[in-house]
Amino acid sequence: MSRAAFPENFVWGVSTSAYQIEGANVADGRGPSIWDTFLDSQTACDHYHRYAEDVGLLKDLGVTAYRFSVSWPRVVPGGSGRVNAAGLDFYEQLVDELLGAGITPYATLYHWDLPQALEDKGGWAVRDTAGHFADYARAVHDRLGDRVDTWFTVNEPWVSAFLGYGSGIHAPGRSSPADAFRSAHHLLLAHGLATGELRAAGASKVGLILNFSPVMTPGQVGDLSMELPEEDTEAVARIDTLIHRQFLEPVLRGAYPADLLPLVERTAGLDHIHEGDLADISRPIDLIGVNYYAPTVVQAQPSQPADPAYPGSAGILFCTVPTAVTAMGWPIVPNALPLLLRRLSREYPDTQLMITENGADFVDVITGDGIHDVDRINFIEEHLRALRVSIEEGARVSGYLLWSLLDCMEWADGYQRKFGLYHVDFATQRRRPKDSAYWYRDVIKRNGLGESRPKRPTLETVAARAGVSRATVSRVVNGEAAVSSEVRTAVMRAVQELGYVPNAAARSLVTRRTDSIALVLSVPRPGGEALTAAVVQYVTSVLEGAGKRITLMVADTAESHRRIVQHAEARLVDAVILLPPSTDRTDTLTERLIRTGLPTVLLGKPAIASLVPYVDVDNSGGAAAVTDHLLSAGRRHLGIICGPLDLVATQDRLTGHRTALERAGRHPLIATANLTMHAGAAAARQLLADNPRLDAIFATTDHLAIGALRAAREAGRRVPDDLAIAGFDDIDAASCTTPSLTTVQAPVADQAMALARLLLSRLEGRHTTSVIVPTRLVVREST
């Protein structure tokens, strides 16, 4: 077998999930799911009505397997009781279409779409849900078991439990560490009970799909053999237990890890783990589905609060690393896949494995002659080469199912993410193959990788298409004025048609590289000084580590703006980082820097929309999370203290708050203030006077929230008994108030790392888009 070939009978396929592609959310008796409640996605890819067309795409690819998921609320609308025959009819038709095309169906019974009726009764946090799942599994097998050989019970239970019930960023949007651990156990119990039902009904193969994200430190990303200090070793082991061993050990060894149980007991107690549960959970299975996208990178940091998605992770910092990333900001680390497979093969040598998800989100450029998604092809190829090495080493991997067939609804991220081999125009539902579809088809046909790799369109390719010289293309790319409008139009048309992304070589024809970066400090908003200082420190460290020199420049006067622009126009630096952009709509510094043609990135979303990429935190999502937290705690009369409404962050935080309230059928009570604690106290007094029943206040900054705490004390309101108060930013003082302040953490290190990566990507000529850094809800005594 050549180095590029895979074993004979290796399974090639793709994966999808019901909620992400089917649409038809109220058709033919389907009941609502938790995701219908969490967000609105009625149509998705309309696969429910277009399944025959999509099976045709699968046949064109030449796949031998297709992993789809069955929608529980489509089959059992109420979660238990009556089975909806029309729902089963759809899956029967899909399976028959697949078999007719020579494609083996792999059915996943649960891919996160819990019936809302069961969530209303407690969801995965209650034991009965596991029993209802087993009944549903039996109903699906009774209809499809004569045609489906391989059954996966649950997809990624960690995500359902800890993102759905812990951090609340997934449906059902609950934020309870105790419920997260209970849900994890009940999802495992559901798997075990369903396995018993499937076996009793004669199922040939049964498996479980887990998300795997090898846990490592930033240093290990570059050097897997690096020895770690004791504190980092403990941090890695603790997160590995939460992500991996919490699920692997009960399923494959019949016991929870000894280091997990004390953590569960402190957080949720152990009453939900009944005698006999582990015997059910550890029923023999035939394979483990491995979903791998990226590693989890951590290091010890004693002052760090626990991440809500990882209860018990206090003292551990979740890090970003300066490496290539996908459009979602996930680091691209193919060599972590062999590390993972070696570990699984060593610790569970009798377990058959299958890669059930692997793929990447990149920004796709639609051109006149196709969609040239070279980044996606390179990502898949690098991971397949890593997989090929693992198989040579003895890993028992039977197949590779790529995520995903179609661009689809990417859960809370909506339609902006593009993982598909086929582009979907969601307005028309037209499917268009990307270059990756043709490339993957060839891989499948030859049962292996080719010797050559796909290449990006080059400067020469663009020049030939436009009928000009390489130097002329480079001048257009760099925004040189001495090019006629006709030539510029021809070059830009060729760039668009070819999907060309300028690289450093294109720029170097007319630009002398200095390896210097201008770090331009605009005047930060009040309270933002600490963020700016910390970002400067982190960004400087990362860029200097990449061999760049930093030129600090202060933009505080019209004259300083003029000097900065002159510096850029003279090409004394290679790129500019502006932090933060001005909130003054009459300030043209950003626009003037863009016109210089230098790569520019911003910290914070600008007040005026532009094409310049920026890094910001998820202000809207963070505000929605803290609002949902207050609502889930039983608060019903919520007020918000907003900072100045001309600040983009304030606008986004107000939007997130309103959205969460609207989901709960409530309306916001709004007070505005400047950004001082004194103003926060005054606004809180006004809210309390106008709304005597007020039982919660969310302030868009921690300074305002601390002022609200002061006003509550003055008014004789007990916090949190009478009045819950939460802020945003997690400044140092937030943990020192009395009571300590619940807030939303906007990770400084993550923002800085993203800024540095974004700039380095621009310098390397990669296509770049703005990065929104996730926030983390930090629950303390004030709520």
Residues identified as active-site:
156, 357
DSSP designation for 160? I
3-state secondary structure of 50: helix
Strand partners, 371: 366
E strands in 657-707: 669-672, 696-699
Which residues 6+ apart lie within 8 Å of 609 measured at CB?
Answer: none
What letter does residue 377 receive in the DSSP assignment?
H
Query: What residues are paired with 400 via a beta bridge?
Result: 12, 355
Phi, psi (rounded to 5 degrees) for 65: -145, 150
Residues 193 and 134: their CA atoms lie apart, in Å, by 6
Axis-axis angle for helices 619-632, 648-663 (nearest 10): 40
Residues 6+ apart with CB under 8 A from 337: 292, 358, 383, 386, 387, 390
User: Which SS3 state, helix, strand or coil, does residue 421 take?
Assistant: coil
* Cα 145 off chain centre by: 34
Residue 753 to residue 703: CA distance in whole angstroms = 26
**Degrees, nearest 5: CA angle 272-275-281:** 80
* Three-point CA angle 414, 417, 421, nearest 5°: 125
Helices assigned H by DSSP within 76-176: 85-100, 116-119, 128-144, 157-158
Query: Which of 101, 36, 106 lies closest to 74 in space, CA to CA?
Result: 36
Backbone angles phi, psi at 11, to 5 degrees: -90, 125
Asked whether 185 and 129 are in contact (CB, 8 A), the reply is no
On the CB side of 4, CA atoms within 13 Å amount to 13
Can you list the alpha helix ranges (DSSP code H) found in 570-618?
589-595
Buried b / exposed e over 99-137, threshold 16 CB at 10 Å, is eeeebbbbbbbbbbbbbbbbbeeebbbbbebbebbbbbb
Q: Which residue type is seen at 461?
A: T
Structure tokens at 517: 């970066």
Element (H, E) at 23: none
Element (H, E) at 424: strand 422-425
Only one residue has tokens 């998605």, namely: 309
Helix-helix angle 470-477:485-498, to 10 degrees: 90
From 673, 649, 681, 671, select the one nearest 746 (Cα to Cα): 649
Give which of 318, 308, 315, 34 is closest to 177, Cα–Cα. Answer: 308
Residue type, 670: I
Tokens of 546: 């990449």
Q: Are 123 and 183 in contact (CB under 8 A)?
A: yes
* DSSP bridge pairs for 212: 292
Centroid of chain to Cα 171: 14
